[in-house]
Structures are given as C-alpha cells and as structure tokens.
Structure 1
C-alpha cells in the first residue's frame, strides 16, 4: 500500500517540530528518512503509526486517513519498530513475537495454527528459529532488536515503519537485516543514521532538516557533497561503491565542513 504524508505539521510543547511535510512512499518502495539529530525523523514516524496526532495535515494509507481507522485496523496494516523498545519484558521470545498477532484476535483469545505459523515464520526470517523458548530480557541488544523486528513481521502488515533498526546490530547482522528488508519489497518507511546504509537500501531518500524536507530523490540525486556539508556539517566525497555500484560517501574525518568554511573566509 502507498503511504502519503500530506502537508503534516506536528506541534509539541507549543513548538512546531515538523512543518508542512509532504512525501510519498509508493507501494513496495523503501523510503528512507535521513537528517541530523533533532531534525524530526522520529516524530514523523510516530505520526505515521498514530502515536502522535498532527496539528495539521494527514497521513493517508492508500486512500484512507490513518486517524479514521480503529487502532486494531491500523495495526493490521502498519507495523512499527520504534526507538523506544522495552528491554525488561518478562516473556519468552515466542511470547514477544506473538504480540504481533494481537490485531487479528479478540481479547483473551489464544493462539491458533495461523498465529503459531506466523510467529515461527517471523523468527526464521530474522535468523532466530531456535530462540522461541529463551527469555527476552536475557538476550543481547542485537538479539532483542531482531526479536522485535520479528514481532513486526508477525503482524503481516502492508507497511513497515522502522526507526533506526540497525542500532545495536553488529556489521554482519546489519548487512543481513538490510538484505532482508530488500527481499520483503514491502512499503517501508525507515530512518537511518548510517548514510551509506541508506544509500544501499533505499529506493528514495527524504532529507529532513529543522523540521522540513529539504531534499527528496534517489540516493544518487540526494547525497551530494553540497548537501552533506550544508545539512550534516561534514566534508565528504561521493564515489561509486566498488562492489555494488551504490553511492558511497567517503567522509573527511580530519576537517569538519564548518572549519572549511572559516578557512575559506579567512583566506578571502
């Protein structure tokens, strides 16, 4: 399903965190949100999965406003993996993943065969098929991350909303997660700090800065040295990845863009 964010403004504590946001994630597209800390990425994702209500504008799932849906109906279509993730669940891994089936069940209803198969399939997808009996709280940060992603998969949603899903994952599991998301070909809104991961994964990128979208397009169109300097405050070259052909950002770790600006002004 297509997600349309239509002129959304979100106000918190009397201040506009997002202002006039418009972007589209087409059906089956992986749309990335990138930007500095505080640019509004998480706020926008929370608005999509109904944790926050916009002051103006609307979020449309296909042709329906998500605010017009009931909570279970919205959860059958949109699964979220937020940054704020419980780490002290006194549940087994299987019980945590099974929480993803709640939008399909009546209150206090037990699991049926469809639920059990959906949970088992989700655990296989994230590479943890033998973890069902383990205690969630005893897992490493990366293992918990994969279990919570399995919970989102168990919802069998049309849209995934993922806020920094590669946090706490080692390099191998980051690569495996990105490959898994590509294989899903499910409409996905994802925020990522790692710009090279975003360039590799996403069909389109939307750059947020100070609560507004300042650039949208393919990674190759968006990730320019000029934008990286202006929005992220870094000096970088953008080259072709020798293995994949994706844009690859080579950062200058010696000279911040702000110092380059002062040096240029001093020599003028």
Structure 2
C-alpha cells in the first residue's frame, strides 16, 4: 500500500515544527527520512501512525485519509516502532509480542493457532525465540528494541513506520535489522540518523531541514557533498561502497563544512 503525506503541518504550543511537508512512501519500498535533530522527522512519523493530530494536511493510505479510519482498522494497516518505548512492561517477551495481534481480536478473545504461529515467527525473525519466557523489563535496551520490532511484525501490517529503529543495537544487530527490513518487501517509512545505513537500505530518501522537505530522490541523487554541507554542516566525500555499490559517505572528522582543514 502507498502512504502519501499531503501538505502536512504540525505545531506544538503554537510553534510550527513541520511546515507544508509532502512526501511519498511507495508500495513495497523502503522510504527514509533523514535530517538533523529537530528537523521534524519524528513529528511527521507520529502523524502517520496517528500519535499526533496535524494542524493541517492529511496522511493518505492508498488515497484514503488515515484519520477517517477506526483505530483498530488503521492498526491492521499501519504498525509503528516509535522512539518512545513506553514503560517497563511487567510481561514476558512473548506476551509483549502477542500484543501485536490485538487489532485482529474481539474483546476478551483468546489466542488461536494462527496468532501463536505469527508470534513465534516474529520472535524467530528478530532472533529472540529463546527469550520468549523472560520478563521484558529484564532485557537490555537492544533486546527490548528487537522485541518491540517483533511486536510490529506480529501486527502483520501493510505499512511499517519506524523511528530510529537501530537505536541501542550493536553493529551485528543493526545489520541484521536492516536486512530484515529489506526482506519484508512491505511499504516502510523509516527515520535514520546513520546516513550510511540510510544509503544502504532505502530506495528513496526525503531530507528534512527546519520542518521542510529540501530534497527527495534516490540515495545516490540526494546524498551529495553539497547537501551534506548545507543541511548537516559536515564536510564529506561520497564514494561507491566497495562491497555493495551503494553510496558510501566518508566524513572529514577534522573540520566542519564551514572550516578549512589545517
């Protein structure tokens, strides 16, 4: 399914943080939001998974305004992994993942065989099968992140919305998570701070700066030395990754974009 953000504006306490944003997440593709801290990435994503009500504009799911859908119906289509992880669930890992099946259940309905299979598959996909009986609150930050990703997969959505999903993960699990996203072939909207991760996993990038989209296109089209200097304030060269052929950003750690190296 396709997600379109149409002329979106988001405001907090009268201050506009997202101003007239238009973007597209195409069916089956991974679409990345990148930009400096405070650029509006999380605010855009929160409107997509209906945590925030926009001051103006719409989020469309295959042409239908998501705001017009009942919560359970919307949750069958869109699953989110937000930055705000919530409290320490006094539940087992398996029970947390099983929460992803809630949109499909009537009140007080128990699990059926399909639910159990989907939950087990989601745990296996994120490498957490043997943790199923552990308390979620006893896990490390990286382990919790993987469990919450499993919960979104158990929701079996058409669209995944992920806000900094590689936070708290070590290098191996970052690589595995990005490979997992690639293998899903679901419409995915993801914000990433790691620009090289964005270049490797995303089909399309939207660059946000001061609440506006300032560039859109493929990673090769978007990630130029000029944009990196203008938006992120860094000096960098963009070369071809020797293993994958993706754009690879080599940062100059001796100077900012406005400084001349000695």
1:88 correspondence with 2:80: no
Aligned positions of 1:168-179 closer than 5 A = 168-179=168-179
Matched, 1:68 2:68: yes
What is residue 2 of structure 1 aligned with on the other side?
2
Residue 131 of structure 1: CA displacement? Answer: 1.4
Shift of residue 55, structure 1, vs aligned partner? 1.2
Task: Give yes or no for the alignment of 1:246 onto 2:243.
Answer: no
Q: Secondary structure at the match of 1:254?
A: strand
The equivalent residue for 1:166 is 166
How much is the aligned-residue C-alpha RMSD, in angstroms?
Answer: 0.9
Question: Structure 1 length normalisation: TM-score?
Answer: 0.96
1:50-88 CA-to-partner distances (Å, cap 9, x unmatched) read 111111110000021000001101000000000000351
Runs of 4 or more above 2 Å deviation? none
Aligned equivalents of 1:150, 1:113: Cα separation in 2: 18
Q: Residue 207 of structure 1: SS of its match in structure 2?
A: strand
User: Which residue number in structure 2 is paired with residue 215 of structure 1?
Assistant: 215
Task: Give structure 2 stretches of 5+ with no counterpart.
Answer: none
The worse-fitting range, judged by mean Cα deviation, of 86-95 and 25-34 is 86-95
1:256 aligns with 2:240: no
Q: How many residues align?
A: 261
Deviation by residue 1:236-267 (Cα, 9 ceiling, x = unmatched): 0000000100000000001111224xx8xxxx
Q: What TM-score, normalized to structure 2?
A: 0.98
1:64, 1:165 → 2: CA distance?
27
Q: Which residue of 1 aligns with 2:237?
A: 237
* 3-state SS in 2 of match to 1:244: coil
SS of match in other structure, 2:193 = coil
C-alpha separation in 2, matches of 1:185 and 1:109: 30
**1-structure distance, mates of 2:227, 2:105:** 47
1:146-165 C-alpha deviation (Å, 9 max, x unpaired): 00000000000000000000
Give secondary structure in 1 for the equivalent of 2:129.
coil
2:24 counterpart of 1:24:
yes
Query: SS where residue 199 of structure 2 aligns?
Result: helix
In 1, Cα distance between equivalents of 2:22 and 2:256: 31
Partner of 1:157 in structure 2?
157
- Where structure 1 has 5 or more consecutive residues not aligned to the other structure, the ranges are 264-268
